[in-house]
Structure 1
Amino acid sequence: MPMSQEKPPMARRFRGYLPVIVDVETAGFEPEKHALLEIAAVIPEMDAQGFLRIAEVHSAHVQPFPGAELDPAALEFTGIDPHHPLRIALDEKEALLKIFHPVRAAVKKQGCTRAILVGHNPSFDLAFVKAAAQRAGLKRNPFHPFSTFDTATLGGLVYGQTVLARAAKAASIEWDNREAHSARYDAEKTAELFCTIVNTWERLKRNDGAAPHSPDAQEATETEQG
């Protein structure tokens, strides 16, 4: 039996990486200057048929770090009031640990070696996560330091739509503009979009045979050549 067949399905599907969908809401565009205000992470799992589905959702409101800048235009866009008396927010370290701990547990449970951040234009989310982790002194970041999966790219490829709301609607995913720009809501919708695209590709593979660059097809080719 090939070695890859001994690994759990999720580990085989993404070369040992566990895709974790992340969204952040911030008080600007510069991760070293502007505050991280909300963070959410959606952890998927693979069902018995080999299709992705949402397994866990974790989120936190985040207190602006000391000296953080708050861009009024960004706050108006997200609708977040960082100083609202009913906003139960954690400091950056507590908020990140609330995300990192279950992500690390899922990586281990699903037989993967590391998490890879999935997001809509994910370089933005990853930059804020890395900057916050550095400020908090957290050296054990479960996410790959630079590789990501981008649902804006995938949405453009599959549906011809790069805006999250439009890509979601094209994928027949319900979308509520009143809930948008909440990290938890956007992360859940991004996760639905990612799972839909991956599962659609999986169905196409099964209908048409293994895709040329899929792990199964590569393994079959190597077996034939060997």
Structure 2
Amino acid sequence: MEESVTSENLPVIGQRFRGFLPVVVDVETAGFNSQTDALLEIACIPIVYNENGEFVPGEALHAHINPFEGANLDRRSLEFIGIDPSSPLRIAMAEDEKTALKRIFKALTEVRREQKCTHAVLVGHNAHFDLGFLQAAVARTGTKNQNPFHSFSVFDTVTLSAMMFGQTVLARSCMQAGIEFDGKEAHSALYDTQKTAELFCYILNKLAPHTLDNLVADQ
């Protein structure tokens, strides 16, 4: 009799990427220097399997962040991303860096353990930019011990998109994949993370499909 797939025996990501849990990350910042410029927004989405053995985005984690003390706020960068750090509405819902990172890291660590992974690996569109700002924030806040991310390994959707579509721009790559992309929503960390996660899953499911029977049998 063919074994049925339940929540108890769903395949886990730890079997697929040498124990790495892919987590799509996007940050919005007040400049390009991770050491001096403010981290203003971060979103993270872990990648998991669904009941059909396909890669899918997991639950999103998101935070608006207050600039750290002494942070540089480049006016041109703020205008480009459309964030006003002094907005009363934004101030009311924003967190300090340490609070936001500890909350997000705790949730990601729970997913990492559920997926039997040893580390999270950052997935991003120009991933080392996001990793640099994340690492700078970790150093400022003393959250190294809570940080689930590998210190230098990344999966970059720019490289994957160039290989798959001949495109490197996120919006154009999504359009090639048939993924709806609203330019008016771009430069929101949560929106860009959602679209990058959809793109990453699309590419993985096209290039590296796994049958559900094989995934369950490997457990």
> Structure 1 length as normaliser, TM-score?
0.86
Supply the distance in 1 between the matched residues of 2:118 and 2:189 (Cα, whole angstroms).
26
Which residue of structure 2 lines up, in the alignment, with residue 97 of structure 1? 102
1:147 pairs, out of 153, 168, 172, with 153
Which residue of structure 2 lines up, in the alignment, with residue 190 of structure 1? 196
Amino acid at match of 1:95: A
Higher relative contact order (CA 8 A, sep 6+): 2
Kept in 1: contact 2:10–2:51 (CA 8 A) = no
Supply the distance in 2 between the matched residues of 1:202 and 1:126 (Cα, whole angstroms).
25
Supply the distance in 1 between the matched residues of 2:102 and 2:55 (Cα, whole angstroms).
25
1:165 pairs, out of 132, 153, 171, with 171
Note the alpha carbon deviations across 1:38-88, whole angstroms, 9 max, x for none: 000011210232211112001000000000000111001101001100011
Kept in 1: contact 2:30–2:37 (CA 8 A) = yes
**Number of residues of Structure 1 aligned to a counterpart in Structure 2:** 203
Q: CA deviation at 1:11?
A: 1.1
Higher helix share: 1
Aligned residues: CA RMSD = 1.9
Tell me whether 28-37 or 90-99 shows the greater mean CA deviation: 90-99
Q: CA deviation at 1:173?
A: 0.4
| Runs ≥4 residues deviating over 4 A | none
2:15 pairs, out of 12, 17, 33, with 12
Tell me whether 9-18 or 30-39 shows the greater mean CA deviation: 9-18
Kept in 1: contact 2:119–2:149 (CA 8 A) = yes
Unpaired runs of at least 5, structure 2:
1-8
Note the alpha carbon deviations across 1:21-48, whole angstroms, 9 max, x for none: 0000000001110000000001121023
Which residue of structure 2 lines up, in the alignment, with residue 178 of structure 1? 184
SS in 2 for 1:56: coil
SS in 1 for 2:155: strand
Which residue of structure 2 lines up, in the alignment, with residue 117 of structure 1? 122
Q: Give the % identical residues.
A: 52
Q: How does 1:25-64 map to 2 (within 5 A)?
A: 25-64=28-67
> Structure 2 length as normaliser, TM-score?
0.88
Unpaired runs of at least 5, structure 1:
1-5, 211-218, 220-226
